[in-house]
Amino acid sequence: MRPLRALPDEPATASAEAEFEDVLRYHNGDADAAVRTLLEDCRHLREQLALTRMGMSIGFTRGWTPSFDRD
């Protein structure tokens, strides 16, 4: 899994900083709640990836298979 990239005309640090601020604002500044929510989201996405991986055939993607880890 690769980290999100900023839009071409936007610096990566500004985008990451804005996302960070949005997450904290959503949780009213509670960093613990923000981390817990992000971990739950990560767990959910890994489960979805596992289901997708089980349902895919290798021929469907010409040999490529999704990975749980960042490359």
Tell me the three state secondary structure of residue 8: coil
| Beta strand ranges found along 1-61 (DSSP E) | none
What residues have CB less than 8 Å from 13, skipping those under 6 apart? none
**pLDDT of amino acid 67:** 76
What residues have CB less than 8 Å from 36, skipping those under 6 apart? none
Residue-wise pLDDT tens digits, 17-55: 999 999 999 999 999 999 999 999 999 999 998 888 888
**pLDDT of amino acid 37:** 94
CA–CA dist 48, 42 (Å, integer):
10
CA–CA dist 15, 6 (Å, integer):
6
**pLDDT of amino acid 28:** 95
